[in-house]
Amino acid sequence: MPSSPPGASNLARPTLAVPIGPLDHRRGGAAATLTLVEYGDFECPQCAQAYPILQGIQDKLGDQLQFVFRHFPITSAHPHAQRAAEAAEWAGAQGRFWDMHDGLYRRRAKLSEAAIVEVASEIGLDPVGLRQSWSSHAHFQRVKDDFRGGLRSEVAGTPTFFIQSVRYDGQWDGDNLERALAEAASAVGL
């Protein structure tokens, strides 16, 4: 197990209950030995704050890092989070997950059903298809599966990060998260 990230206790930390698999949305090097998983919610203010930090880390580490995003919509606090997650999955079925992901985080402060539809249009996807997807609940189960996997991995809120499949309990500002990733990279010989 890698050393404890800054700000984390030395107690055993939860690990990913659902291993990374072919259905996961990944960004970065396919052969990367360093992995960062985020359980996120497109309407979460903290996830929106983490978004540019994560972008910077991904840019800095390039192909050394595989970034995985999983859905954890907290619908009790964020009324549009479920629809946004389903929209991202709908876009993903058309090879445009990351375009929708990025567009939704850019709109997080004013997220609504109309804003989600606008993002679909902006990235060149048919909004009618998105509305049909919502009506048929075509991607509901996929989002629910991510959420349940998060619960099994002891995710309680968003954003929650896992480095090398171990939950990171430290602060996720750029410096601390980068330091924890560097420690994990050192542990795997990068």
pLDDT in tens, 7-40: 444 468 999 999 999 999 999 977 898 999 999 9
Residue at 10 is within a domain: no
Could you tell me if 167 and 14 are in contact, meaning their C-beta atoms sit under 8 angstroms apart? yes
56-88 pLDDT tens trace: 999 999 999 999 999 999 999 999 999 999 999
Could you tell me if 104 and 87 are in contact, meaning their C-beta atoms sit under 8 angstroms apart? yes
Residue at 61 is within a domain: yes
Residue at 174 is within a domain: yes
For 164, the domain range is: 25-187
- The count of structural domains within the chain is 1
Residue at 14 is within a domain: no
- The enclosing H or E element of 37 equals strand 34-40
With 0-12 / 13-18 / 19 or more C-beta atoms within 10 angstroms meaning exposed / middle / buried, residue 124 is exposed
Residue at 161 is within a domain: yes
Residue at 5 is within a domain: no
* pTM: predicted TM-score of the whole model, two decimal places: 0.92
Which residue type does 115 have? Answer: A
Q: What is the mean pLDDT of residues 158-173?
A: 96
Residue at 180 is within a domain: yes
Residue at 11 is within a domain: no
pLDDT of residue 6 exceeding 60, the answer is no
- Alpha-carbon Rg for the chain, nearest whole angstrom, is 16
pLDDT of residue 109 exceeding 80, the answer is no
Domain of 134: which CATH number?
3.40.30.10
pLDDT of residue 4 exceeding 50, the answer is no
